[in-house]
Amino acid sequence: MEDRRAEKSCEQACESLKRQDYEMALKHCTEALLSLGQYSMADFTGPCPLEIERIKIESLLYRIASFLQLKNYVQADEDCRHVLGEGLAKGEDAFRAVLCCMQLKGKLQPVSTILAKSLTGESLNGMVTKDLTRLKTLLSETETATSNALSGYHVEDLDEGSCNGWHFRPPPRGITSSEEYTLCKRFLEQGICRYGAQCTSAHSQEELAEWQKRYASRLIKLKQQNENKQLSGSYMETLIEKWMNSLSPEKVLSECIEGVKVEHNPDLSVTVSTKKSHQTWTFALTCKPARMLYRVALLYDAHRPHFSIIAISAGDSTTQVSQEVPENCQEWIGGKMAQNGLDHYVYKVGIAFNTEIFGTFRQTIVFDFGLEPVLMQRVMIDAASTEDLEYLMHAKQQLVTTAKRWDSSSKTIIDFEPNETTDLEKSLLIRYQIPLSSKKKKKKKKKKKKKKKK
C-alpha cells in the first residue's frame, strides 16, 4: 500500500510543479520519499523494487526543481547528488530509460526547464554546480534522444524479428511499463533456470538494462507513429465523419463528379489464387475544364497496411510530370502543379496492394479537387486458394441461376390481425393503467377518424 501512496504523492507533485505551485510540489514529493523510506527493499519481490526506484527518482527530480524555484540551492544540490547516486548505481542505461519514460509522458520538461533557467546567468549564491550541471546535461541528452529517436536507443533495430544491435533475448510481451521487467532469482542464485530462454525474467543485470532500453525505444517509435497518424488521419477522419453524419452523403463523397472522367486498369474488383500477392491499379483522371488535384488519400484503416499510393503524375494526354510520393504513402497532398492554361488536365494515380495471407481486402481512394462531392473509387481484392475460388464461383453461379424475382404471381399478402388479449394481459392492464397523456392521444386519433368518415 505504501508504494501506491507514494506513487499518488509523486503524481500530485508533478501536477503541482506544472501549475507552478512549488511549495505544494515540495510537500507532495517529500511525502512520497517519506512513504518509500518506511520499508526495506528486501521486503518486496517482483516488479516492486524497480517501481519504487522509479518513484524515488521522479520524486527527487520534482523536489530538486521545487527547491531551485524556492531558492533553497543547498538542499537542491544535496538531492541532485542523491538522485545521481541512486540512478547511476543501477546502471546509466536503466537511469536513462526512466528519464526517457518521463519525457514521453511529459513529466521531464518542467524539471529540465527549471534546471536550465537556474543554471543560466544566476550564480546560485556562489555554490559549485557540478552535480546540477551534470543532471541538466543528462536531461537535455534524454530530451534530444527522445525527440529525434537517435541511435543511442536503437530505434532502427526495433522491427519485430530483428535483433540487430541487441545482445540478449527479446523482452517478454505484454509489459506495460519498463519497471515491470524483473531479475530471475533462481538464475542469479543457482546459475540455472528451468524455463531457460522462455523465462520472462532477465538472467543478468545487463539483460534487464537492455530490456528497459528496448522498452524506452519502443515508446519513442510508437510516439512517432502516433504523430504521423495524427497528421495524416485528421483529414480522413474528418471526411468519414462528415460523410456518415450528412443527411445527403452523396453530396460529400461520390463515385462520379461532373467534369472528371475516371478510367482504371485493371478492374476495381480483382481475384487472385496465391497467398503472396501483389497488385497495382492505375487511375487516369481527365479533368475538362482543367482543375487542381489537392489531395489523394486512402480512406479506411481496416486494411491500410496492405495498400499504398505509389505514383502520381500530372500533365496533358501526351506529357506527364511525375510528382514526389513518399514511401508507403497513405495521403498525398498536392496543389502545386502548374497547369499552364490547358483546357484539360490528366492525373494518373498508382495504387499498390500487397499481401501474404488469404482474405478479402477493401479500400476506398479519394481524389479531392477542393470541392464537394469528393471523388472516390472503391477497390477490392479476393485472395483465396484455388479450391476456395472454385467453390465460390460455383456458389455464385448457382445463386444467379436459381434466384427468383418477386412478381404478382409469386407473392401472398397476409393482413395483420392483433392477437386476442389474454387474462394475464388484462389483469396487467387493470393494475398498470395507461397514462392520461396516451389516452388523450388515442381520443384525438378517434376524433380525426370520425371527421374523415363524415
The H or E element that residue 361 is part of is strand 359-368
Give the residue from 306, 433, 291 showing the smallest Cα distance to 359.
Answer: 306
- Compute the distance between CA of residue 178 and CA of residue 87 in angstroms, rounded to an integer: 15
User: Which pLDDT does position 171 carry in this prediction?
Assistant: 83
Domains of the chain, start order:
2-220 (no CATH), 254-387 (2.60.40.740)
- Span of 215-229, 319-333, 340-354, 422-436 with lowest mean pLDDT: 215-229
User: Which pLDDT does position 89 carry in this prediction?
Assistant: 65
User: Which pLDDT does position 174 carry in this prediction?
Assistant: 64
Q: How confident is the model at residue 231 (pLDDT cuts 50, 70, 90)?
A: low
pLDDT tens digits for range 33-71 = 888 775 444 444 444 456 777 788 888 889 998 888 888
Per the structure block, which three cell numbers stand in for 252? 460529400
Per the structure block, which three cell numbers stand in for 132? 546540477
User: Which pLDDT does position 43 carry in this prediction?
Assistant: 45
| Percent over 90 (pLDDT), the chain | 15
Q: What is the DSSP letter of 314?
A: E
pLDDT tens digits for range 97-144 = 778 778 777 788 888 888 888 877 555 666 667 788 888 888 887 777
pTM of the predicted structure, to 2 decimals: 0.41
Give, rounded to a whole angstrom, the gap between the first and last alpha carbons of the chain.
81
Per the structure block, which three cell numbers stand in for 413? 399478402
Crossing angle between the packed helical segments 48-69 and 73-89, to the nearest 10 degrees: 160
Give the residue from 99, 117, 120 showing the smallest Cα distance to 108.
Answer: 99
Kindly tell me the burial class for residue 33, based on how many C-beta atoms sit within 10 Å of its own C-beta (0-12, 13-18, 19 or more). Answer: buried
pLDDT tens digits for range 379-418 = 999 888 777 777 777 776 766 665 566 777 777 888 888 7
pLDDT tens digits for range 387-398 = 777 777 777 676
User: Which pLDDT does position 449 carry in this prediction?
Assistant: 57
Whether 251 and 372 have beta carbons less than 8 Å apart is answered as: yes
Given the C-alpha cell 504523492, which residue does it identify? 9
**Alpha-carbon separation of residue 349 from 262, 274, 428, 453 (angstroms):** 11, 25, 67, 66
